[in-house]
Amino acid sequence: MTHILCKTSDIEDPGSKSFELKINRKLQSIFVVHKDAEFFAYYNQCPHTGANLEWQEDQFLDLDKALIQCATHDALFMIDSGECIAGPCAGDSLQALPLSINGDNVTLDI
- Collapsing DSSP to helix, strand or coil, 99 comes out as strand
DSSP code string of 31-60 = EEEEETTEEEEEES--TTT-----SBTTB-
Tens of pLDDT, residue by residue over 43-74, are: 999 998 889 999 899 999 999 999 999 999 89
Q: Does the pLDDT of residue 25 top 90, yes or no?
A: no
CB 51 within 8 A of CB 37: no
Domains of the chain, CATH where assigned: 2-109 (2.102.10.10)
Rounded to whole angstroms, how far apart are CA atoms 21 and 42? 12
Query: Predicted confidence band at 1 (pLDDT cuts at 50, 70, 90)?
Result: confident
Q: Against a cut of 0.85, is the pTM above it?
A: yes
Tens of pLDDT, residue by residue over 75-88, are: 999 999 999 999 99
